[in-house]
Amino acid sequence: MTSYRVRALPGLPEVRPGDDLAKLIAAAGPELSDGDVLLVTSKIVSKAEGRIIEAADREAAIDAETVRIVARRGPLRIVENRQGLVMAAAGVDASNTAPGTVLLLPEDPDASARAIRDGLRDALGVDIGVIVTDTFGRPWRNGLTDVAIGAAGVRVLDDLRGGTDAHGNPLSATVVAVADELAAAGDLVKGKAEGLPVAVVTGLSHLVGDADEGARAMVRVAADDMFRLGTSEAVREAVTQRRTVRDFTDGAVDPGAVRRAVAAAVTAPAPHHTTPWRFVLLESPESRTRLLDAMRDAWIADLRRDGKSEDSIARRVRRGDVLRKAPYLVVPCLVMDGSHSYGDARRDTAEREMFVVAMGAGVQNFLVALAGERLGSAWVSSTMFCREVVREVLDLPADWDPMGAVAVGHAAGPPKDRPAREGSMFIEVR
């Protein structure tokens, strides 16, 4: 391929609900040839498919088309819509439509592209590719451009992985968004206000064929999307996704991820501008086994002193095995450096409680940050019942108070559903 041509297709009438777009395009472009790529603005597809609704309140229409809010700033919302696209206002458009109405995106843009392609084959006997386009903003970039939201008969992605560049370097991550590049090229000749909703690309017939993947293949799946959420939404998502995980795979834990979580933990508030948190990271199997064996022995001794039967003790010990299942353990410790002594039991108790609350805030930060790193965790209180044993085994200073242990690892399965908690049930207003 040495060159190609992009031109707008003039002569299309105002599109109305029920119109056969393929016939309208065939009448305006009888010269269309095999191997051409047709770029069709989604607005006229929506109009032909009757995706015009009465909507005195555009926000309500956006709500109806929204699956998930990605980010919000004032009235502007970036959302995932019913088509799986992440975009402003769910693609609900109040321009180029009568007052009091809005345009929704085509219900299935890939199906719309297939219908236009099939219709043009019937009308003109040509084998062409069809791309349905819409205007998007882009993260990190100013300005708008057209992208592909539907496609038929055209390669949408060009996977170059496994090949080499001109210097022989291996290509390991290069997948070219061909359909988006074509959509943007078409926008250069269609414009936004010239009344030219269709463009034709000639000279790229190698991209046209029986490809049936559609533009849906260009939408990054959630598991691979590193930028799935906006800032405030990411915080809420991490908080709600933090679950107590009791079964872990044997996959290794990235020590760097744990250290990043500790960095988040120590941003928690604390009294008197203190830093009462210490995190002991048990990264070797030997250190974990040594601690857990010593804690188990101390726990069994306590239960025997309480008169528990051997069967009861065995059951309780098994319930505490979550720490043994984890490939990584963290022991958060409280230090009272900077605390005040009042010489009064009531105030001294309150002083310690303030530090304990700060410790809880730090551990919560830690657990949420681990969830953000896609690591599961379980905060278990067991070290608080044998602090002297923990200090001795881990060779900790006498003023470090172990405040439980956090099991860290990759969850062995998806979390179980849990009952929703209605916030209003926990609120009292005075």
Note the pLDDT tens digit of each residue in 369-426: 998 888 999 999 888 989 999 999 999 999 999 999 999 999 998 877 778 888 889 9
Instruction: Please tell me the predicted confidence (pLDDT) of residue 211.
Output: 73
Instruction: Please tell me the predicted confidence (pLDDT) of residue 98.
Output: 83
pTM above 0.75, yes or no: no
Instruction: Please tell me the predicted confidence (pLDDT) of residue 66.
Output: 93
Cα 393 to Cα 135, 300, 416: the distances in Å are 62, 17, 35
C-alpha span between 345 and 330 (Å, rounded): 32
Residue ranges of domains in the chain, CATH in brackets: 5-51+105-224 (3.30.1330.100), 242-426 (3.40.109.10)
Contact 183, 146 (CB under 8 A): yes
Residue 410 dihedral angles phi and psi, to the nearest 5°: -95, 125
What DSSP string runs through 170-213? B-SS-EE-HHHHHHHHHHHHH-SSSS--EEEEES-GGGBSS---
Residue 69 has, within 13 A of its CA and on its CB side, a CA count of 14
Please choose, from the candidates 139, 156, 40, 157, the residue with its C-alpha nearest in 3D space to the C-alpha of residue 86.
139
Chain mean pLDDT for the chain: 91
DSSP designation for 425: G
pLDDT in tens, 44-100: 999 999 999 987 778 889 999 999 888 887 778 899 999 999 999 999 988 878 888
Asked whether residue 31 carries a pLDDT value surpassing 60, the answer given is yes
Instruction: Please tell me the predicted confidence (pLDDT) of residue 293.
Output: 93
Residue at token pair 């930028």: 227
C-alpha span between 394 and 392 (Å, rounded): 6
Cα 15 to Cα 21, 45, 137: the distances in Å are 8, 8, 26
Assign 1 a pLDDT band (cuts: 50, 70, 90): low
Contact 258, 370 (CB under 8 A): yes
The three-point CA angle 258-264-269 to 5° equals 140
pLDDT in tens, 125-176: 999 999 999 999 888 899 999 999 999 999 999 888 778 777 788 877 788 9
C-alpha span between 1 and 204 (Å, rounded): 7
Find the DSSP H helices in 213-308. Answer: 231-241, 255-265, 285-305
* Pairing of the two strands 405-409 and 277-282: unpaired
Higher pLDDT among residues 327 and 210, named by residue? 327
Instruction: Please tell me the predicted confidence (pLDDT) of residue 193.
Output: 65
Residue type for position 238: A
pLDDT in tens, 231-276: 677 777 777 778 889 899 999 999 999 999 999 999 999 999 999 9
Cα 260 to Cα 123, 263, 264, 358, 378: the distances in Å are 61, 5, 6, 19, 18
